[in-house]
Structure 1
Amino acid sequence: MVNKTILWSAIAASFASISNVLASDSDVLALTDKTFNKEVLDKSLMLVEFYAPWCGHCKALAPEYELAATDLKDKIPLAKVDCTENEATCREHGVQGYPTLKVFRNGESTEYRGTRKHEGIVSYMKKQALPNVSDLTEATALNDFKESDRVVVIAYVKPDDKETKETYDTLAAKLRDDFTFGLVTDEELAKTEQIKEFPSLVLYKQFDEKRVDLSGAALKDEDLTNFIKSNSIPLLDQIDAENFATYMESGLLLGYAFTDNEDDRAKYDALLRPVAEKFKGKVNLVHIDASKYGGHTSNVGLKDGEFPAFAIQNLNTASKYPYTGSDVSTTAFEEFVENVFSGKIEPTLNSEEVPETNDGPVKVVVGSQFNDIVLDKSKDVFLEVYAPWCGHCKNLAPTWEKLGEQVQGLKNSNLVIAKLDGTANDIPPEGDFKVEGFPTLKFFKAETNEMIDYNGDRSHADLIRFIKEHSTGKIELEVPVEEEQEEQKEAKDEAETVNHDEL
């Protein structure tokens, strides 16, 4: 472990030899196929952006990246590579999309996991420059360290407590990308921070209550992780694309206050802050700018354009709980959050109307009938979740219809071929899956409701083979001879093409 001031001096010196190939108005190093290895591979720490000039996300990142480079100048270099002109370097480093940011240490790279905002880039790279745990031995170093980032974690441990030190080191190594960790073993120095018990952990913040303490019995890794993550999220922050992942990783219910003007935001802040304090560590509450993210209302059961509004979402199951009460007060919101958290309120499901007739070869499923049809334990159900605009779904449609007609013509069959419009209907929690893309094909077995993913080719023949392999009853479905022959011919042609290409 090293003193922070000494560390930063060493880092600045180590980068003094970097070639001055920057434009006069930029602190970002522009690299090429010819200069990349020379400028990057022998440096102890560097951030590199791989980009394309036409990329909209790259254009949005550019000014933030420039500001970060200026802030980190003479400490940590930031560089960029234009992949449209330097394809060899980008290919060598596995760049598959733009922008891609990688942290390089002596030639070895890891993915950059921070935000794409100026302050976030600076904070993330400063953490990368520090050891896992910084040893703090003087009051000045301690005070500077406490103010060095938005969230700082410091453990106060007795010099001979090796077990807690090892646990803390392991924790810091795991969370170093997200938090800054310090250690104080001088008991007199600890007293200046009003530490009365050892070991103790203090989380210093530049928001809310500024400081949160955890002390007493031996500190375990899981306890420390939960403590840090639950207390590092502001009570009522503004949510956007940059910090959404933080809330996802917390695993807690997320309550959104949708507002589209400052007056409504201030009003809802006053109403919800006591609620956020009461449910801290159980439910996260956030403000969301309805003028920018109004489209998110459909994901939480609200109507776009009707603001202000409040709703809760379970990010693990995608369940939604819109607040529909007329009482807009702290008491009403508190009761609503409590009932959602305790399970007294059922989630709202998007669902189309139940079809008047549903006796076609492919059974139509809507959200409100999902459990009745798909989870009917007397049936095997092969379900397609589709989107009306999806090209792959349109290609599959005639094959899926043909499959349904074959099954419908069977005697004493317990198999159902079904489809659900995933853009208009939610999967209930009992369905126990998320739709990651279209079409999604799932097979639910009778008696157990065991769910099996279909990841094979979407040909008629392969679908039939899959059904025969997994169905609980005897299914008299056969692949038409002409289809079998056509598939064999296509496979042969493909093999010959591959062999020809390899020659």
Structure 2
Amino acid sequence: MYDSLLALEATEDGVLVLDPSNFADAVAENPTLLVEFYAPWCGHCKKLAPEYAKAAEALAKEDLKIAKVDCDAHKDLAKEYGVSGFPTLKLLKEGKPTDYQGGRTADDIIKYVMKKSGPAAKTLATKAEATAFEGEDEAVVLGLFSSADSPEAKTFMSVANGIDRLPFATSSTKEVLKAYDAGKGGKVVIMKTFDEKKAVLDVTSSTTEEEMADWIEGASMRLVTTFSPETSSAIFGGKVKVHMLYMADASSSTFEAESAALTKAASTNRGKLLHVHVPHTEDRVLQYFGAKADNLPMVVIADMTSNSAIKKYMYADEITEAGLLAFEKKFFDGELVPTLKSEEPADEDLAEPVKVLKGKSFSKLVLENDKDVMVEFYAPWCGHCKALAPKYDELASKLEGVDSVVVAKMDATENEIDVEGVAVAGFPTLFFFPGKGKGSPMKYEGARETEDLAKFIMDNASTPFKLEGVESEDVKDEL
């Protein structure tokens, strides 16, 4: 008993340090517990560490704790919680895990944990409380209703529970409703420090959660959001999955006129399409879309609505309000054709045990044959990919004598595919394409160890095979 109590007090920079001996006790002691699963060698984890420590210090003042697990030292815990990349953050609410999808700044983490530890929306009784609430963030959401028990109020609370990046509050008092010209209620009001400052949605008992949530997601964002590490979670984590990206140098002579045109165009399809300025210094974003600092400005629509890869539509005309709106209309009318990048295939692509795929060769080598194909989508700069490389090479060598299986990789920063069910949102991403089911690719979510990968391929192979030292599920079942 005393050992477990002492273990719970083990901290680094205010963050609980968990292992198999104290994990369950920590979850029991903390009804809302955010846990970071990390690896000591991981660059992203090292970058997160000071922000996570700042968040821990601030949350401690509210009697809230956050924790971390060293997954190199405690692989079984990582496996139990389905951790396949680092850092992975999971919220344990009454012991039930959900993935953390928020930003990686101290402020993002603090807001998330605070919201998840309390009610989805505050209750405001006075105008003074409402005024104070407005100061909590650059955009806040108020639900103003005749009664907290009304259907509209209940819908609002459900929506508030599902949107983590914004503060929510509700009120049914005459004083607060009058302060926001809400009459007898039935309104959702967003107060902002930017753009039009205030947005209002009239709601009725027939307003659905989806309608309300979609409006809040759209109206709470800036007409044009500037991409940065701080805004990326709001941009990519929101419900609007079609983005117009304006990649440009803010110091260029054309920037003022072009950004003004983008801002004017943004109001037309607000809520359907998110407008984003990507600074010329965001090298990885530029690289992903095939842009370079010396060929800017560039405008592209990125469509992330399907289960396949991001579809990109390149804009080639002068950047004007009319031109951008015409381009958006063509997109929504289905008149645009996506652009796919590809390196040129070469003879040496097939020389090694791990076959190299290019955008132009993907269909022939993966989809148009009856072999089982495991594909790693990677980025050359990705630390996780570099850590996987020797294990993946070993996997390919083990399977080189199995004619029915191909182990392959593709540089997803230089090559793109449009295959239903294949979405590459991070690196590395691994998909298995069964020889007898190429239309149903399987995303690999297991441990990135040679034996685990080999076992997965054996268990899902269209043509059964055996490997020395690796047991398939079928063999275990027979035993």
Distance 1:393 1:435 in 2: 23
2:321 alignment partner in structure 1 = 330
Q: Relative to structure 1, is the Cα distance of residues 206 and 94 closer, same or farther in structure 2, using a 3 angstrom cutoff?
A: same
Contact 2:35 2:69 in 1 (8 A): no
Residue 162 of structure 2 is aligned to residue 174 of structure 1: yes
2:267 alignment partner in structure 1 = 277
Give the Å deviation of 1:224. 0.9
Give the Å deviation of 1:190. 0.4
1:286 alignment partner in structure 2 = 276
Distance 2:136 2:171 in 1: 16
Q: Relative to structure 1, is the Cα distance of residues 492 and 93 closer, same or farther in structure 2, using a 3 angstrom cutoff?
A: closer
Give the Å deviation of 1:287. 1.6
Larger radius of gyration between Structure 1 and Structure 2: 1
Contact 2:454 2:470 in 1 (8 A): no
Distance 1:320 1:458 in 2: 34
Residue 180 of structure 2 is aligned to residue 214 of structure 1: no
2:107 alignment partner in structure 1 = 119
Q: For 1:183, which of 167, 170, 173 is the aligned residue?
A: 170
Deviations 1:205-256 (A, max 9, x none): 3332222111153332221111111222222112245544544442432111
Contact 1:36 1:89 in 2 (8 A): no
Distance 1:370 1:111 in 2: 32
Q: Which amino acid aligns with 2:54?
A: L
Q: Relative to structure 1, is the Cα distance of residues 305 and 82 closer, same or farther in structure 2, using a 3 angstrom cutoff?
A: same
Paired residues, number: 424
Give the Å deviation of 1:82. 6.4
Q: Which amino acid aligns with 1:57?
A: H
Distance 1:491 1:49 in 2: 36
Distance 1:229 1:321 in 2: 23
Distance 1:144 1:427 in 2: 49
Give the Å deviation of 1:349. 2.5
Is the partner of 1:148 in helix, strand or coil? coil
Deviations 1:43-80 (A, max 9, x none): 45554545555432232123323333444452144444
Distance 1:310 1:92 in 2: 42
Give the Å deviation of 1:340. 2.6
Is the partner of 1:182 in helix, strand or coil? strand
Q: For 1:68, which of 55, 61, 67 is the aligned residue?
A: 55
Distance 1:103 1:462 in 2: 33
Q: Relative to structure 1, is the Cα distance of residues 365 and 94 closer, same or farther in structure 2, using a 3 angstrom cutoff?
A: closer
Contact 1:444 1:452 in 2 (8 A): no
Q: Relative to structure 1, is the Cα distance of residues 443 and 187 closer, same or farther in structure 2, using a 3 angstrom cutoff?
A: farther
Distance 1:284 1:222 in 2: 18
Identity of aligned pairs, percent? Answer: 23
Give the Å deviation of 1:351. 4.6
Q: Which amino acid aligns with 1:154?
A: L
**What are the ranges of 5 or more consecutive residues in structure 1 without an aligned counterpart?**
1-18, 356-363, 405-416, 468-483
Give the Å deviation of 1:192. 1.6
Is the partner of 1:204 in helix, strand or coil? strand
Alignment RMSD: 5.0
Give the Å deviation of 1:336. 2.5
1:254 alignment partner in structure 2 = 243
Contact 1:322 1:348 in 2 (8 A): yes
Distance 1:196 1:72 in 2: 38
Q: Relative to structure 1, is the Cα distance of residues 100 and 349 closer, same or farther in structure 2, using a 3 angstrom cutoff?
A: closer
TM-score (norm 2): 0.69
1:227 alignment partner in structure 2 = 215
Q: Relative to structure 1, is the Cα distance of residues 370 and 129 closer, same or farther in structure 2, using a 3 angstrom cutoff?
A: closer
Q: Which amino acid aligns with 2:115?
A: K
Is the partner of 1:159 in helix, strand or coil? coil
Q: Relative to structure 1, is the Cα distance of residues 54 and 374 closer, same or farther in structure 2, using a 3 angstrom cutoff?
A: closer
Residue 384 of structure 2 is aligned to residue 426 of structure 1: no
Contact 2:240 2:271 in 1 (8 A): no
Give the Å deviation of 1:201. 1.2
Deviations 1:135-171 (A, max 9, x none): 2221212222232234322211113863223323333
Give the alignment of 1:393-432 within 5 angstroms.
426-428=416-418, 431-432=419-420
2:296 alignment partner in structure 1 = 307
Residue 129 of structure 2 is aligned to residue 141 of structure 1: yes
Distance 1:109 1:462 in 2: 30
Give the Å deviation of 1:124. 1.4
Is the partner of 1:278 in helix, strand or coil? coil
Contact 2:434 2:462 in 1 (8 A): no
2:381 alignment partner in structure 1 = none
Q: Relative to structure 1, is the Cα distance of residues 205 and 383 closer, same or farther in structure 2, using a 3 angstrom cutoff?
A: farther
Q: Relative to structure 1, is the Cα distance of residues 382 and 242 closer, same or farther in structure 2, using a 3 angstrom cutoff?
A: farther
Q: Relative to structure 1, is the Cα distance of residues 35 and 306 closer, same or farther in structure 2, using a 3 angstrom cutoff?
A: same
Between 366-375 and 258-267, the greater mean CA deviation after superposition = 366-375
Residue 147 of structure 2 is aligned to residue 155 of structure 1: no
1:349 alignment partner in structure 2 = 340
Contact 2:301 2:312 in 1 (8 A): yes
Is the partner of 2:262 in helix, strand or coil? helix
Distance 2:285 2:251 in 1: 19
Q: Relative to structure 1, is the Cα distance of residues 271 and 144 closer, same or farther in structure 2, using a 3 angstrom cutoff?
A: same
Distance 2:124 2:216 in 1: 20
Contact 1:236 1:285 in 2 (8 A): yes
